């Protein structure tokens, strides 16, 4: 993610800022990829702290307009969890916009979000025909830590969930193309295999022996759909970590040149060659504070081929190239 210029004074702005250091209200324009110091602001600004602009006064921004179903705010912690969830959605929507997804130049369908708060029964997150269902409770720091331990997942955040679930929607979009499915099946396998049977087997038996040679995560080994979604999420992780590293003013001998843009890099192998040493370095920095690695994964050759496939399709797919 970039660091942005302050349109109303000195200093920089971060992606989630609502105001400058001097207290001047600002909002993010996702089309210009810049902050502006004037309304109209999103109708959700005062409710959940949305900092994007709206097309007209009283309207939702581009991201909030994708939420067709908001959580029941009478459920405890629904509003703070919804706030964090929408912030993660804006981050990922803007990431994908770097490859023209869900912007005005994208001729395809946008995702529709159902944001649900959890009562006594957990909410099952997932995607069906363009509708992405998200449990906003997964933004709660205590709950996400508990589930990370219970499910033995070394990385579990709302941005990660958003990248994974939107990836399913992207697969649905791409599957409408005549040239996608055969190419997908040659890399990931046949997604027509029974999904529920595959998940039951995964949760009963765990990943297959030697799964690290073929998959990024244990969950990716459950079914081709999950392998795709995990690969998309990890491509976005690596690309955005690299972009944020550069935007923060950091340097590395691994960078091709000073103005290198990871989102514009056409060669997935080159992107991975840069990203991997960067995440190893940042992992090491985290260890100096006793924190977990931000990217605790190993990229096998097979996983890298899957990332290259995803990279090729995400860079070309939104505009049907």
Residue ranges per domain, the chain?
Answer: 1-62, 69-157, 177-321
How does DSSP classify residue 73? T
Environment class of residue 40 by beta-carbon count within 10 Å: exposed (0-12), middle (13-18) or buried (19+)?
Answer: middle
Environment class of residue 148 by beta-carbon count within 10 Å: exposed (0-12), middle (13-18) or buried (19+)?
Answer: middle
What is the model's pTM? 0.93
Separation between Cα atoms, residue 52 and residue 6, nearest integer Å = 15
Question: E strands, the chain, where?
Answer: 4-5, 12-13, 27-29, 34-36, 67-69, 112-116, 126-128, 131-135
First-to-final CA distance of the chain: 25
Regions in the chain scoring below 50 on pLDDT? none
3-state secondary structure 80-131: HHHHHHHHHHHHHHHHHHCCCCCCCCCCCCCCEEEEECCCCCCCCCEEECCE
Query: Residue 150 has what pLDDT?
Result: 64
* CB distance 144 to 156 below 8 Å: yes
Look at residue 282 and give its three-state secondary structure: helix
Residue whose pair of structure tokens reads 């990716």 in the numeric block: 220
Query: Residue 43 has what pLDDT?
Result: 98
Query: Residue 282 has what pLDDT?
Result: 93
Those residues whose C-beta lies under 8 Å from the C-beta of residue 287, and which sit 6 or more positions away, are 293
Alpha carbons within 13 angstroms on the beta-carbon side of residue 318 total 18
Query: Residue 60 has what pLDDT?
Result: 98
């Amino acid at each position: 993610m970039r660091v942005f210029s302050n349109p109303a004074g000195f200093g920089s702005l971060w992606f989630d800022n609502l105001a400058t250091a001097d207290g001047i209200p600002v909002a993010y324009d996702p089309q210009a990829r810049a902050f502006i110091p004037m309304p109209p602001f999103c109708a959700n600004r005062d409710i959940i702290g949305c900092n994007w602009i709206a097309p007209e006064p009283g309207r939702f921004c581009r991201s909030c307009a994708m939420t067709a179903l908001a959580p029941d705010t009478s459920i405890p912690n629904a509003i703070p969890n919804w706030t964090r969830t929408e912030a993660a959605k804006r981050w990922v929507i803007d990431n994908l916009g770097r490859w023209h997804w869900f912007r005005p130049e994208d001729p395809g369908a946008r995702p529709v979000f159902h944001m649900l708060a959890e009562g006594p029964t957990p909410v099952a997150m997932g995607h069906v025909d363009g509708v992405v269902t998200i449990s906003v409770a997964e933004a709660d720091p205590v709950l996400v830590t508990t589930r990370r331990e219970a499910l033995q997942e070394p990385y579990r955040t709302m941005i990660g969930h958003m990248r994974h679930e939107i990836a399913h929607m992207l697969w649905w979009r791409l599957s409408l193309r005549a040239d996608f499915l055969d190419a997908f099946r040659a890399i990931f396998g046949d997604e027509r295999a029974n999904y529920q049977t595959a998940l039951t087997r995964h949760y009963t038996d765990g990943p297959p022996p030697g799964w690290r040679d073929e998959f990024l995560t244990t969950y990716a080994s459950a079914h081709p759909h999950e392998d795709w979604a995990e690969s998309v999420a990890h491509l976005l992780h690596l690309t955005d970590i690299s972009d944020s590293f550069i935007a923060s003013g950091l340097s590395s001998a691994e960078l091709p040149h000073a103005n290198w843009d990871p989102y514009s890099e056409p060669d997935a192998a080159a992107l991975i060659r840069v990203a991997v040493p960067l995440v190893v370095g940042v992992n090491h920095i985290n260890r100096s504070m006793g924190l977990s690695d931000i990217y605790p994964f190993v990229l096998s050759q097979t996983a890298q081929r899957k990332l290259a496939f995803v990279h090729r399709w995400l860079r070309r797919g939104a505009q049907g190239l």
